[in-house]
Amino acid sequence: MSSYLNSHSSQAGNPGVRNALRFCAALLLIIALLPLFLFNTVAALLCFKAPLTRQTWIDISAQPVRLLRWQAGIFKGSAAVLNVLSGTIHFVGNPLVRAGVSIPGTARLCSPCHRPGLFDSLWLYSLIGLSTEKPLVLLHQQCRQSAFADTLLIVRIALCLGLYHKSAVMPPHSTLFGIPFSNTRMHSAVDWVVHDSAHQACRSAYYINANSVNLSARNAQLYQVLRSSDRNFIDGSGMRIAARQAGMSLADNNNGTDMLPVLCRAAITHKRSLFLLGAQPGVAQQAATNLRQQFPGLHIAGVQHGYFDDDEAVVNQINQSGADIVLVALGSPRQEIWIDTNKHKLQAQCALAVGGLFDFFSGNIARAPMWMRELGLEWIWRLILEPKAKFNRYVLGNPIFLFRVYVLQQALRGL
């Protein structure tokens, strides 16, 4: 069945065979959906409407795409399978312009895909909140991938639609569980961090995830710190699920691990220096070495491991280094409380609480495979690598968080 879903360019195989396979796949899918199609047809006729209408879309190459849509019934977009049958659109191909899909730095993209598609990699990235600065590279990979990979892409998008389907409402600022947050694209978040503040006070920024919510529910000091921060960024699939239940869509998943490369490039451009504070002895130093190699020209003003007792000495060390941005990796809730307690003494322009960030960039811990990240399942990878350290956070914490989401949903419904 996966062979039927091939939408590759001419180098991927015989176009005639490929089109025949796509036709067979669409025909089989239509047969499977026949009860749904009959139901929607009857529903439209009872409403004195024509069963089908045409809806005009624009793909990212600025070409119009007219897709069939049911005028009544359920799963109205399923009529687009008829367009696949006719060959006007493929299952996987050139992205359609959808609300919330981030295509940075371009108004019109000369896509390598020859035909528009119902599914595409950029849509998957937007659903889970993954940011990409090189959409063309992503689309080239999509065009070269196998038919089986196309099938897996469709499955991943279907799963993400079920878990994280976006609402039309995407406020720039809002609250979840009483904690305010900024709903921004990755590049906007980084711009805020590297921006030279007009006032001298060090700004604080935190990443809010399911663990933050659980910890703040039983730690009043952390809760107040998060509520009084200068900026909170949303991190993780759990928060996307919570936002969906609250009737909101989230922009990019602004976790520290994905943000740091973007931040390093921006720091070089804007001539900002970093200070790495936290983790076990030697980890921050190794992370600094790796970052300097990966980003030539990056100025890391200093490093300090997280095993210290004298806050005043560490603050003086940071100030003497002249660092503009301080990355604090002391673990929650210590890192957030440390920043809140000491930010008025820091001469840096911004301090971010970054959790286990240095472990990734030092090479101590590997990132999850891309397919897990594309499904919002990186937490499972962390649990596999560190079962004892992450047991309470994920095995116990995730069900507790989902219960909080349920309570939030009932509260919003007024129940």
Contact 265, 296 (CB under 8 A): no
**In this structure, what token pair is assigned to residue 95?**
């992205």
The DSSP code for 175 is: E
Q: List, in order, residues 6 or more apart from 304 with CB less than 8 Å away.
A: 275, 276, 277, 278, 284, 314, 317, 318
Cβ atoms of 6 and 142 within 8 Å: the answer is no
Torsion of CA 158, 160, 161, 162, to 10 degrees: 90
CB atoms within 10 A of CB 198: 5
Model pLDDT, residue 162: 86
Pairing mode of beta strands 350-353, 203-208: parallel
**266-325 pLDDT, tens digit each:** 999 999 999 999 999 999 999 999 999 999 999 999 999 999 999 999 999 999 999 999
Look at residue 44 and tell me whether its pLDDT is greater than 70. yes
Domain extents in the chain: 2-164, 173-372
Dihedral of the alpha carbons of 178, 183, 187, 191, in degrees to the nearest 10: -50
Q: What is the pLDDT of residue 103?
A: 57
**Residues 401, 213 contacting (CB under 8 angstroms):** yes
Per CATH, the architecture of 173-372 is what? 3-Layer(aba) Sandwich (3.40)
pLDDT in tens, 363-392: 999 999 988 998 889 999 999 999 999 999
Check residue 405 and give its pLDDT: 93
Helix (H) or strand (E) holding 350: strand 350-353
- pLDDT bracket for residue 62 (50, 70, 90): confident
Instruction: Report CA dihedral (321, 323, 327, 331) to the nearest 10 degrees.
Output: 40
pLDDT band at 14 (very low <50, low <70, confident <90, very high): low
Residue 1, pLDDT score: 40
State residue 135's pLDDT score: 84
